[in-house]
Amino acid sequence: MDDNNKKTQSFNKIFIVDSLLDTDLQTGSELYNDNIRLGTAEQIPALESNFTRVNNKNDLVDFLKNVKAEVLNRKVGPIIHIEAHRGEEGLILRSRENVLWEDLIEHLCVINHGCGNNLLLTLAVCKGIYLTRIIKKTITGIAPFWAIIGPAEEVKAGHISRAFNQFYKELLYSFDGTKALNQLNNSIPSDAPKYSLEYCETLFRDVFKGYFNTLCSGKAKRNRVERLLTEIRKATGGRPISISLLRRYLKEKLKKENQVPQFEKFRRRFFMIDDYPENDERFPIKFEDCL
């Protein structure tokens, strides 16, 4: 999958996972039977696909573990497409159980690490793009996916079916993510909520920018220095310490130019560069890009 020849993802299997109720439109199975299964068999025989219906949390965990096993043992490059309802803090399954976004992210991180940051996640879930807000709380871990596609608002089942059918038709024809997303959004009414695509690079940049602006500049920087001073005084148990020298040291450490090593540490971990050296070139984001 190629977007303006800049961000690339290689995939060779599409996993459709469905946890809809019997009373719902069966958009997941329809997408698989009418589009994915036929499209992969006729157009791209080497591209595999799979449909799984999960009823409860245990089923979902088993599904995710199976994807992980295929990634690790068969070198599968996955696309995972999820069809389910959304609760306040995650997914609602057929069993009415809630799956927290944080729990889902934990499994996605393992899968994404196994495939070298090549996981594309598509969510046929109302406000599915909300998942990125959870990730934006921290960048101290690894990326849970290469990119994510989902709606920011409540969407109708009929729109979901039409949207993702057009998305995968275009993707399997052109392997162009931008064209596929455009087909998706063009297939639904103009007043319907649109779908967004977010890359892990964008998430990393936004999170680090927020971190830097919140803790390493202006008033926030001064407040952080004073907070660190208070913590250090408590830790020293009242022993004599030069507050002025310590304050100067902390201010120096928090200077913009001194944040580069911290940035690079986060970048290398988030994009798994030590385990996949090629990701250094795939994700050449710079400290200056995050200011």
Confidence of residue 248 (pLDDT cuts 50, 70, 90): low
Average pLDDT of span 63-84: 95
Q: Coil, helix or strand for 261?
A: helix
For a pLDDT cut of 70, what percent of the chain falls above it? 77
- What pLDDT shows up at residue 242? 64
Identify the pLDDT of residue 208: 80
Kindly report which listed range (47-56, 75-84, 155-164, 212-221) carries the lowest average pLDDT score.
212-221
Q: Position of tokens 């079916």?
A: 161
pLDDT classification of 139: cutoffs 50, 70, 90: low
Q: Which domains does the chain have, with CATH numbers?
A: 2-199 (3.40.50.1460), 205-290 (no CATH)
Sign of the alpha-carbon torsion through 175, 80, 48, 37: negative
Say whether pTM exceeds 0.95: no
Q: Which residues pair with 120 in a beta bridge?
A: 79, 147
**Angle value at C-alpha 149, between 196 and 147, nearest 5 degrees:** 110
| 49-65 average pLDDT score | 96
What 3-state class would DSSP assign to 120? strand
User: Between 163 and 222, whose confidence is greater?
Assistant: 163
Summarize the confidence of residues 7-13 as an average pLDDT.
Answer: 76
Dist. CA 271–CA 291, nearest whole Å: 19
Q: Can you give the pLDDT at residue 276? A: 96
Q: Is the pLDDT of residue 127 over 90?
A: no
pLDDT band, residue 58 (cuts 50/70/90): very high
- State how far the Cα of 105 lies from the Cα of 284, in Å rounded to an integer: 24
Structural contact between residues 111 and 64, judged by C-beta atoms closer than 8 angstroms: yes
The whole-number pLDDT of residue 6 equals 45
SS3 content of the chain, % helix, strand, coil (to 5): 50, 15, 30
In sequence order, the 6+-apart residues with CB closer than 8 A to the CB of 259 are: 212, 216, 287
CA distance 253 to 177: 41
Q: How confident is the model at residue 128 (pLDDT cuts 50, 70, 90)?
A: confident
Give the residue among 87, 103, 106 at the shortest CA–CA distance from 95.
87
Q: Which is more confidently placed, 158 or 115?
A: 115
Judged by average pLDDT, the poorest of 53-67, 93-107, 187-201, 248-262 is 248-262
